[in-house]
Amino acid sequence: MKSMSAHYWLMKSEPDEYGWDDLVAEKEGIWDGVKNAQASNNMKAMKTGEQVFFYHSRQGLEIVGIMVVSEEAFPDPTDETGRWIAVKVKPERKLDNPVSLKAMKQNPKLSELAIIRQSRLSVASVTEDQWQEILAMSQAE
């Protein structure tokens, strides 16, 4: 059954606003302010314990670490309309080496990666193969 397998994810944030170090300092962060249907649906599908790449957008343009879903979808406290949801995440570990967007674009195994195909999607799913490939890239040299 394919529903048995854990899902992997990637979420973006501008380090100016909320970067990896901010999450580490907080120990647990609320991922809020997502107002996009596709991104929101991805967040609704997240289960506690699933792993999420933390990507720095605008500045950095690289995956810097891995976080873990610590609380599944609940109403976004920053959203007055009540339409949007948030999740909670905890930092798991920093990658040995960050994996840049440039490097991912150059890797043919990652050509289907959601953030490459659709750069504006801020919360995306990552396949097991893609996840393993990115991890391997973070360990290279």
Q: Is 47 in the site for DNA (CB under 7 A)?
A: no
Query: Between residues 62 and 133, which has the closer beta carbon with respect to DNA?
Result: 62
Tell which one of 6, 44, 47, 105 touches DNA (CB under 7 A).
105
Q: Is the CB of residue 116 less than 8 Å from the CB of residue 63?
A: no
- What is the longest distance spanned by two Cα atoms in the chain? 48
Query: Between residues 49 and 83, which has the closer beta carbon with respect to DNA?
Result: 83
Q: Is the CB of residue 54 less than 8 Å from the CB of residue 31?
A: no
Tell which one of 37, 49, 75, 92 touches DNA (CB under 7 A).
37
How many Cβ atoms are within 10 Å of 52's Cβ, its own excluded? Answer: 26
Q: Is 36 in the site for DNA (CB under 7 A)?
A: yes
128 three-class SS: helix
Tell which one of 38, 70, 107, 125 touches DNA (CB under 7 A).
38
Can you read off the two tokens belonging to residue 97?
């080496």
Q: Which residues bind DNA (CB under 7 A)?
A: 12, 14, 35-38, 55, 57-58, 61, 101-102, 105, 115, 118-122
